[in-house]
Chains A and B, each alone.
Chain A
Amino acid sequence: DIVMTQSPDSLAVSLGERATINCKSSQNVFYSSTNKSYLAWYQQKAGQPPKLLIYWASTRESGVPDRFSGSGSGTDFTLTISSLQAEDVAVYYCQQYYTNPQVTFGGGTKVEIK
C-alpha cells in the first residue's frame, strides 16, 4: 500500500495568514498516461463528513473558495490556505487514488486559529 504522511499534525495560524499543509506519498502517484498526479485533499469540520476540496493535486472542486490551492507532483504535495478564515478550522486529509481501488489517506492535519 502507498503510505501517505502528512505534516505537521496540527498548526495554529492567525486569521488572514497563510496555512501550509504537506503530504508525502511513499511512492510516485503521477500517471504519465494522463499527465496527472492522483492526489486529492479533503476538509473535515468537527462532527461533519469530509468535503472534497481538490483533486488532480491542484484542481479545485466546484464551489471551493480560491484561497484553497493545491500544488506538487510525484511524491510531495502541499495544500495552502492563502488567508485563513474562521470557517477553515478543520482537519485536512490528503488521499492518493493512484492505486485504485485501494486508496489511502494521510493521517490528517488539524488547523486552528492562533
Chain B
Amino acid sequence: EVQLVESGGGLVKPGGSLRLSCETSGFTFSHAWMSWVRQAPGKGLEWVGRIKSKIDGGTSDYAAPVQGRFSISRDDSKNTLYLHMSSLKIDDTAVYYCASLGRDQRISPLRPFDWLSFWGQGIQVTVSS
C-alpha cells in the first residue's frame, strides 16, 4: 500500500523558516518524481514545486511565488522528501501536500507525467505574527 506522511508543519512568524518532511512507503521512492502542492484556507490547489529522481538528474523546479524562498530535496536512503521554506509570508499559510507523479509505461517507459497519483494527508503551515 502506498503511503505518504507529511510532518513538520506548525505556526511560524513572518520571515521565519520551516522544513516539511514527507515519509513514503509502498513504492520505489528513488525512481519517483515528487511534487508539493498547497491549498490555502477555503481555496483551490496550487502547485509549489517538483523534484526529479536522482537518476533523472535530481533537479527541482518551483512556482513563481516561492522561487528563491523554497527548496525541495530528497533522501532516497530514508524514502523521504523535504520542503525547505524560508522568508515565509502570511500568504504561504496553507495545507501542504506531497504527491508522487504518475506513470504510463505505454506512452513513456522512461519518465513520469505530471498528474499526481498519490497524495499525503497534508500538513498545516500557518504564518502569523
Point out residues on A near B: beta carbons under 8 Å. Answer: 34, 36, 38, 40, 42, 48-52, 55-56, 61, 93, 95, 97, 100-108
In the complex, the 9 A-B pairs of residues with the closest C-beta atoms, listed nearest first: A97-B114, A40-B115, A49-B119, A100-B114, A105-B45, A101-B50, A55-B115, A101-B61, A108-B44
The answer to whether B97 and A55 touch across the interface, beta carbons within 8 angstroms, is no
B1 to chain A, nearest CB (A): 12
Q: Is B46 on the interface with A (CB-CB < 8 A)?
A: yes
22 contacts between A and B (CB under 8 A): A34-B107, A34-B108, A36-B107, A42-B45, A49-B119, A49-B120, A50-B37, A50-B97, A51-B119, A52-B102, A52-B116, A52-B118, A93-B44, A97-B114, A97-B115, A100-B113, A101-B61, A101-B114, A104-B47, A105-B44, A105-B45, A108-B44
The answer to whether B44 touches A107, judged by C-beta atoms less than 8 angstroms apart, is yes
Contact with A along B35-47 (1 / 0, CB 8 A): 1010000001111
Chain B contacts with A in 74-89, Cβ cutoff 8 A:
none
> B residues within 8 A CB of A36?
107
CA distance in complex: A56, B122 (Å): 25
Bound-state CA distance A38–B116 (Å) is 12
Interface of B, helix, strand, loop or mixed by DSSP: strand
Assuming A50-B97, A55-B115, what are 13 further A-B pairs, CB within 8 angstroms? A34-B107, A42-B45, A49-B121, A49-B122, A52-B102, A56-B104, A93-B44, A101-B35, A101-B61, A102-B47, A103-B47, A104-B47, A106-B44
List of B residues within 8 angstroms of A107 by Cβ: 44
> Would you give the 0/1 interface string for B105-128, flagging 1 where the beta carbon is closer than 8 Å to chain A?
001100001111111111000000
Instruction: Contact check, B117 vs A61: say whether CB atoms are below 8 A apart.
Output: yes
Q: Number of B residues whose C-beta is below 8 Å from A?
A: 25
Report whether B45 and A97 are in contact in the complex, using a CB–CB cutoff of 8 Å.
no
CB-CB under 8 A from A38, the residues of chain B are 113-114
Q: How far is the CB of B26 from chain A (nearest CB, A)?
A: 14
B113 to chain A, nearest CB (A): 6
The CA-CA distance from A98 to B116 in the complex, in Å, is: 13
Please determine whether A103 and B114 come into contact, CB atoms closer than 8 angstroms.
yes
CA distance A55 to B61 in the complex (A): 22
Residues in B whose Cβ lies below 8 Å from that of A42: 45, 116
